[in-house]
Structure 1
Amino acid sequence: MGWMHTARFLTTAAQLHQLPVINVPEFAFVGRSNAGKSTSINTLTQQNQLAFASKKPGRTQHINLFALGKKGVTDAVLADLPGYGYAAVSREDKQRWQQVMVNYLVSRPSLTGIVLLCDPRLGLTELDEALLDIIRPRVEQGLKFLVLLTKADKLTRAEQAKILSITKLNAGGGEVMMFSALKKQNVDKVAQLLWQWSHPQGVASAEPAPQPEA
């Protein structure tokens, strides 16, 4: 999906009021600080340094927006939200970031979909469950939602199948996919899903015609 490869930096903001008004679909990546969020964004966009991937989790302290669209025309925006749950960050900073994220997830008008990234070896943590509770009213109103189980290459096929089944039961109606930046597992599927979120009017025409059974 070459559309994802068009990602380019748009702006960064420490507070919600600093974000620009967006008139195109916007989807946000969110998750614990060690869930592989930045690496996943960089893999999907095929840009090694688009999102800041650090060996020290919790370095992203702002909401970073990236424009998407071919020929320089922005038809969607990707939002990279600060990771949560990192113990080395001060309590005050964690509370501030979490409040900014809550306000964003609850009230951002252009927000069309959310990608929640989780380490499948940990499953949905208490903080992930709290986030699910926050966005549930908007999901019920039509907000798109995907749980992305990162670092799938660290699990066997049997382990992947088990955690996938468990997470689907707990995802509250959202879609669930395994994902590996290292092995490129489901990279194309995630990119296609995000394109569909941003171009609902074009999904029907983009779907391949059914093939006759052999």
Structure 2
Amino acid sequence: MEYEDEEIEAARVLFQRQATFVMGAAKIDQLPEPNLPEIAFAGRSNVGKSSLINGLVGMHKLARASNEPGRTREVNFFDLDGQLRLVDLPGYGWAKASKTTVKKFQDLGRDYLRGRVTLKRVYLLIDSRHGLKSVDTEALDALDLAAVSYQIVLTKADKLKKGEGEAVREKTLKAIAKRPAAFPDVALTSAEKGDGMPELRAEIMRTTGTAP
């Protein structure tokens, strides 16, 4: 996607506004009122969701990263100065959680996706070093079934060799080409180095219709 310099700058200003943790919902009836546009982040456990959220808002500890995969078992809401909400969905692909526990917070995520009228888009994070895996296909199927617009965001691009990032991006684009709810662009990002983050901010601003 192409973005004008003015749009990149406006998005930078928007995401510099105060970001705060609102709440973590363990049940669907605990969700906050749907009175702001929301964008949600999903992905395998340990894909870098917390790092990406923190990188977008320029804070180190807004979203808590954990050394133990699968710790995010609630739908976590972050408020960007009353303009929009960033939503961290429970991760998937855990090795240590029981099947009952996994199903409980996967169902919570699905209930949120199906019924949230203010949800503008889901950003599905994929580790650029590994690309789409079979466990990701299940998530893609669920998003298509829920008819929720989603965009693939490749993370940890700084770990790749020169040229590998664009190759995995093109491969991912081809893989989602015929999926009905997939946004026809794939973002290549590095939360650590900041690569792709200005464009992702601009895309979120454009998608939610917000302004600084």
Task: Give the TM-score normalised by the residue count of structure 2.
Answer: 0.86
Indicate the residue corresponding to 1:190 in structure 2.
200
Could you give the per-residue CA deviations for residues 84-127 of structure 1, whole angstroms, max 9, x where no partner exists? 11101222111111111111112222111101001122211222
Indicate the residue corresponding to 1:212 in structure 2.
none
The 1:10/1:91 distance shift into structure 2, 3 A limit, reads same
How far did residue 132 of structure 1 move? 1.3
**Which structure 2 residues correspond to residues 151-162 of structure 1 after superposition, within 5 A?**
151-162=156-167
**Which structure 2 residues correspond to residues 114-193 of structure 1 after superposition, within 5 A?**
114-139=122-147, 143-171=148-176, 172=179, 173-174=182-183, 175-193=185-203
Amino acid at match of 1:194: I
How far did residue 68 of structure 1 move? 1.4
Indicate the residue corresponding to 1:37 in structure 2.
49
SS in 1 for 2:195: coil
Contact 1:64 1:81 in 2 (8 A): yes
SS in 2 for 1:157: coil
Query: Stretches of 4+ moved more than 6 A in 1?
Result: none
Could you give the per-residue CA deviations for residues 179-206 of structure 1, whole angstroms, max 9, x where no partner exists? 1112110111111111111117x7xxx9
Amino acid at match of 2:88: D
How far did residue 148 of structure 1 move? 0.8
What is the RMSD of the two structures over their aligned residues, measured on CA atoms?
Answer: 1.7
Indicate the residue corresponding to 1:107 in structure 2.
115
Greater relative contact order (CA < 8 Å, ≥ 6 in sequence): 2
Contact 2:189 2:195 in 1 (8 A): yes
Unaligned runs of 5+ in 1: 207-214
SS in 1 for 2:165: helix
Moved more, 51-60 or 32-41: 51-60
**How many residues align structurally?**
195
Indicate the residue corresponding to 1:68 in structure 2.
80
SS in 1 for 2:172: helix
Task: Give the TM-score normalised by the residue count of structure 1.
Answer: 0.85
User: Highest CA radius of gyration, 1 or 2?
Assistant: 1
